[in-house]
């Protein structure tokens, strides 16, 4: 079993499982978010600070549900607290679509924003790091240190258009391999919301012997037609952008060269332009509307117009688009969105009703009462199939309530983990 990490020394962690970077990581780097002229906004190895990330290299190729494999998988993750002597106090926290491993802690070098569930993780909080060892990985296919479309393939070129289709099941398999590398055979709990909730659900069904409890928030058992339709339009916005280049936009005139100053062998030359930034921004605008409730948008913005003539709600969407472009990769947005479109916990298991009704893992199911993207009827179905009461998060914020209503989510997690 690897030694328990020192929570006070996370800024310069020792990698577990031999996670040697492809290009050397400098001791410091100037940026924590992509500049205006960057071709993509994900974490850039050799350019951006490591921050609180740790890295694990999986020991063998990852076989994929749809066929094929990813030859060399690296998972970025962060931890809080200490793993006990029996490795029985570990909790896995899983992020949503545009989240990452930085679930707790302040913004700083390598981390453009504070932890997305910062109020839940720490001494005395719902995920009490005085008792628990909390692990938050960046998902397979992501762009914040884990292997994804922007990562070098075995030939040294970015995967780009060659990146394979990845499912929720594949993401869980990568996380299971990470758990093996950390010496964790069974999680005390697996907790997640939205896409993270999908993975928590899949963890319980795929690896029931490795999950003591699953806390599933703001998702369903299978993607609905409306969700698939909304996601399909967002993907069209990205892949229809002239800067998409079929997915092969990661090396461009604005991309830093490797240390030897040469493009990787076999590369045909950098793409022109700045990548599909416009398409990614449009996709984020569409998504942001679905993440919030109609009542909240009306109360906050109505039809009010700014002095420059722009509608206030349009300026709000522009702001969120700009923020995402600076920290996220369009290729990762496409691959993770496709994973959510194909989410079905019952695939190959006789349907989701059968898969959940026979799962032995104790569940806690929660939903946001104003969520229109993953409406609460979907969580009610999960609760009915798993034989537990539905926990309701009361919020005017819509789907994003699982990130914003920290006190309510904290109570749900404390009850699930039986923490006073």
Q: pLDDT digits over 350-368, tens only? A: 999 999 999 999 999 999 9
pLDDT, mean of residues 225-244: 97
Write down the domain spans for the chain: 16-223+344-417
Residue 14: per-residue pLDDT: 29
Q: How far apart are CA 372 and CA 357, in angstroms?
A: 26
pLDDT bracket for residue 337 (50, 70, 90):
very high
16-223+344-417 CATH choice from 3.40.50.300, 3.30.830.10, 3.40.50.720, 3.40.50.1820: 3.40.50.1820
Q: For the chain, give the percent of residues with pLDDT over 90.
A: 80
Residue 41: per-residue pLDDT: 84
Catalytic status, residue 370: no
pLDDT bracket for residue 33 (50, 70, 90):
low
Strand (E) or helix (H) holding 134: strand 133-137
User: Tens of pLDDT along 116-132?
Assistant: 999 999 999 999 999 99
Residue 30: per-residue pLDDT: 32
Write the secondary structure of 148-214 as one string of H (helix), E (strand) and C (coil): CCCCECCCCCECHHHCCCCCHHHHHHHHHHHHHHHCCCCECEEEEECHHHHHHHHHHHHCHHHECCE
Strand (E) or helix (H) holding 80: strand 74-80
Query: Do the beta carbons of residue 32 and residue 110 sit within 8 Å?
Result: yes
Query: Do the beta carbons of residue 283 and residue 327 sit within 8 Å?
Result: no
**Active-site residue (options: 48, 128, 170, 371):** 371
**Model confidence at 3: pLDDT above 80:** no
Cβ neighbours of 237 (radius 10 Å): 21
Token couple for 142: 């992501």
Which tops the pLDDT comparison, 224 or 34?
Answer: 224
**Model confidence at 277: pLDDT above 50:** yes
pLDDT, mean of residues 371-392: 98
Residue 11: per-residue pLDDT: 28
Residue 37: per-residue pLDDT: 55
Q: How far apart are CA 225 and CA 243, in angstroms?
A: 29
Sheet containing strand 54-57, strands side by side = 54-57, 74-80, 133-137, 90-94, 189-193, 214-217, 363-368, 390-393
Please, is 70 exposed, middle or buried when counting C-beta atoms within 10 Å of its C-beta (0-12, 13-18, 19+)?
A: buried
> Residues at the annotated binding site?
284, 400
Catalytic status, residue 371: yes
> Residues at the annotated binding site for substrate?
284, 400
Q: How far apart are CA 66 and CA 84, in angstroms?
A: 37
Cβ neighbours of 192 (radius 10 Å): 28
pLDDT, mean of residues 212-220: 98
**Model confidence at 343: pLDDT above 70:** yes
Query: Do the beta carbons of residue 162 and residue 71 sit within 8 Å?
Result: no
pLDDT bracket for residue 32 (50, 70, 90):
very low
pLDDT, mean of residues 83-90: 97
**Model confidence at 303: pLDDT above 90:** yes
At 282 the three-state DSSP class reads helix
**Active-site residue (options: 194, 290, 332, 370):** 194
Strand (E) or helix (H) holding 365: strand 363-368
User: Tens of pLDDT along 247-274?
Assistant: 998 876 555 555 555 655 545 555 656 7
Q: How far apart are CA 362 and CA 208, in angstroms?
A: 10
Token couple for 124: 């005395």
pLDDT, mean of residues 3-12: 29
Catalytic status, residue 6: no
Which tops the pLDDT comparison, 34 or 154?
Answer: 154
**Model confidence at 107: pLDDT above 50:** yes
User: Tens of pLDDT along 143-202?
Assistant: 999 999 999 999 888 999 999 999 999 999 999 999 999 999 999 999 999 999 999 999
Which tops the pLDDT comparison, 281 or 255?
Answer: 281
């Amino acid at each position: 079993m690897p030694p328990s990490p020192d929570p006070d020394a996370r800024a310069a962690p020792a990698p577990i499982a031999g996670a040697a970077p492809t290009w050397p990581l400098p001791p410091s780097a100037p940026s924590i978010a992509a500049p205006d002229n960057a071709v993509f906004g994900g974490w850039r190895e050799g350019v951006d600070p490591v921050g609180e990330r740790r890295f694990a290299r999986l020991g063998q190729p990852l076989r994929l549900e749809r066929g094929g494999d990813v030859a060399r998988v690296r998972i970025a993750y962060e931890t809080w607290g200490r793993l006990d002597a029996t490795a029985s106090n570990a909790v896995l926290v899983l992020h949503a679509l545009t989240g990452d491993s930085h679930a707790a802690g302040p913004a700083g070098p390598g981390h453009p924003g504070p932890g997305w569930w910062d109020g839940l993780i720490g001494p005395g909080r719902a995920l009490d790091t005085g008792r628990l060892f909390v692990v938050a990985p960046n998902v397979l296919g992501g762009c914040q240190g884990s292997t994804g479309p922007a990562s070098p393939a075995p030939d040294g070129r970015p995967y780009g258009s060659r990146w394979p289709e990845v499912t929720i099941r594949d993401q869980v398999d990568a996380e299971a391999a990470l758990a093996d590398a950390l010496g964790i055979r069974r999680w005390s709990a697996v907790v997640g919301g939205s896409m993270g909730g999908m993975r928590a659900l899949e963890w319980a069904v795929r690896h029931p012997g490795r999950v003591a409890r699953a806390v599933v928030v703001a998702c369903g058992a299978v993607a609905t037609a409306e969700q698939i339709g909304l996601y399909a339009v967002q993907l069209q916005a990205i892949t229809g952008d002239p800067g998409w280049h079929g997915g092969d936009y990661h090396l461009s005139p604005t991309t830093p060269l490797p240390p030897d100053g040469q493009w990787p062998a076999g590369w045909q030359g950098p793409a022109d332009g700045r990548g599909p930034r416009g398409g990614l921004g449009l996709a984020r605008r569409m998504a942001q509307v679905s993440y919030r409730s109609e009542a909240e948008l009306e109360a906050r913005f109505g039809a009010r117009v700014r002095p420059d003539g722009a509608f206030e709600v349009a300026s709000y969407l522009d702001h969120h688009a700009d923020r995402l472009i600076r920290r996220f990769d369009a290729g990762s947005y496409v691959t993770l969105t496709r994973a959510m479109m194909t989410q079905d916990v019952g695939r190959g298991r006789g349907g989701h009703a059968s898969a959940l009704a026979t799962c032995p893992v104790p569940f806690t199911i929660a939903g946001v009462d104003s969520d229109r993207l993953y409406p609460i009827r979907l969580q009610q179905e999960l609760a009915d199939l798993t034989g537990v009461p539905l926990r309701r998060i009361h919020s005017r914020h819509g789907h994003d309530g699982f990130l914003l209503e920290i006190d309510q989510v904290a109570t749900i997690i404390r009850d699930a983990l039986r923490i006073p």
